[in-house]
Amino acid sequence: MIFSNDYADQLDRADSLASFRDRFHIPKHANGDQIYLCGNSLGLQPKSVKTVLQQELDDWEALGVEGHFHAKHPWMPYHSELRDLLAETVGARPVEVVAMNSLTVNLHLLMVSFYRPNAERAAIVIEQGAFPSDRYAVESQIRFHGFDPAECLIEIAADPDTGLIPTDALESCLREHGHRVALILWPGVQYRTGQAFDLKAIADLGHFYGCRVGFDLAHAAGNLPLQLHDSGADFAAWCSYKYLNSGPGAIAGAFVHERHAQAVLPRFNGWWGHRQDTRFQMGPEFKGTPGAEGWQLSNPPIFAMAPMRASLEIFHEAGMPALRRKSLALTAYLEALIRQELGDVLRSVTPDDPEQRGCQLSLQVRAGRDAGKQLFEHLMQSGVIGDWREPDVIRLSPTPLYNRFSDCLGAVRCIKQWAESV
């Protein structure tokens, strides 16, 4: 029954968020829309982006430098227009968030403040198989401080059978090594498997052992209903070109917990992090803006921030609770179709428990890597857009803002077509 147009169409008609699809440009394939299941890699463009960008271009054209004060959305405080929307999306307080830079730049800037190693505590804990940029960043931070990554980079391995990190693995690691760990840098969602983690449990555990705790939320922001403030994490960073639909290479986000808002912490300073009320006195002494905005370096890139504002306004309108409900339903439907129709073809390496995943399913072809690559190429040629992660994973992510239940059905039909032809 579930493998039918009527069933998928019935689900789509009952979808209270269905109209949001019309707010996005859907890439075309042949005579119709692509089945775009790649929001975990690059979100689609909101139709409002062109309007918000044109507004900034028009204001620059008409006002020149006065656009800083008299544009429709004045550029001087522009980043503050994003603050409340960004905080709402990630479950933070406005003082705790800022849009700036790119993800890895933000991780480095935050580690300047929160990775403070000494001879007794110099180690950083990450997951084995972390996104390469994270590993490069932490390894370089360890070396920068004069320590050896071979001794001070602790990687927690996944279970060899499931590919997932057991819930007690971090605790076991800290029982053995916690006395020498300065920082835990952990993903909100593991990029390859789609495994989601309990941020509060990890932050509480790390703090119990005297560690600072930060999160890379690249695959979690806009995907899961995060509660960053309540998690107690010291810091977090995320990109916004995936689920947050802010465009390729879009400006990123950063979080610093409110308890650090007034703290005198080591940091790399720039003039836009200086207190706003005295910034333009151009004095020689840095006086940081309280909260996450104090980590800013340079004046905000307006043309990069405008698409984020357009997207966050859509998130505000839809609401993360409703998006999560649809995400759970979409992913469950895709999973049920795969189990019913493709159980002998595909294996999911994403947790079965919906509370331990977002909208991503990471799939392996049981016949092996070469067959997996062939299937991925067939999907792409057929207009079913996912992505491939070495060595053997196809990621499909039905995103609730613009994907339909019929997209899930179409993807499974395309895979069945391939399986029956090989």
| Per-residue model confidence as pLDDT tens digits over 374-407 | 999 999 999 999 999 999 999 999 999 999 999 9
Q: What is the 3-state secondary structure (H, E, C) of the chain?
A: CCCCHHHHHHHHHCCCCHHHHHHECCCEECCEECEECECCCCCCCECHHHHHHHHHHHHHHHHHHHHHHHCCCCCCCHHHHHHHHHHHHHCCCHHHEEECCCHHHHHHHHHHHHCCCCCCCCEEEEECCCCHHHHHHHHHHHHHCCCCHHHHEEEECCCCCCCCCCCCHHHHHHHHHHHHEEEEEEECECCCCCEECCHHHHHHHHHHCCCEEEEECCCCCCCCCCCHHHHCCCEEEECCCCCCCCCCCCCCEEEECHHHCCCCCCCCCCHHHECCCCHHHCCCCCCECCCHHHHCCCCCCHHHHHHHHHHHHHHHHHCHHHHHHHHHHHHHHHHHHHHHHHCCCEEECCCCCHHHECCCEEEEECCCHHHHHHHHHHHHHCCEECEEECCCEEEEECCCCCCCHHHHHHHHHHHHHHHHHC
- Sign of the torsion formed by the C-alpha atoms of 288, 291, 295 and 301: negative
pLDDT band at 369; cut points 50, 70, 90:
confident
Res. 368 pLDDT band, cuts 50 70 90: confident
- Angle, in degrees to the nearest 10, between helices 320-342 and 5-13: 170
* C-alpha 68: how far from chain center: 30
Mean of pLDDT values over 204-221: 98
pLDDT over 90 at 81, yes or no? no
In this prediction, residue 212 has a pLDDT band, given cuts at 50, 70 and 90, of very high
Residue 133 one-letter amino acid: S
Domains of the chain: 5-33+319-421 (3.90.1150.10), 53-317 (3.40.640.10)
Integer angstrom CA distances of residue 192 from 42, 253, 270, 347, 353: 15, 21, 35, 14, 17
pLDDT at 1: 85
Taking Cα atoms as reference points, which of 216, 131, 219, 207 lies closest to residue 171?
207
Q: What is the pLDDT of residue 149?
A: 98
Q: Tell me the average pLDDT of the chain.
A: 97
pLDDT tens digits, 31-44: 999 999 999 999 99
**Cα–Cα separations (whole angstroms), residue 320 to 64, 191, 203, 370, 401:** 37, 21, 22, 38, 10
pLDDT band at 422 (very low <50, low <70, confident <90, very high): confident
Q: Do 86 and 100 touch, CB atoms closer than 8 A?
A: no
Is the pLDDT confidence value at 167 over 90?
no
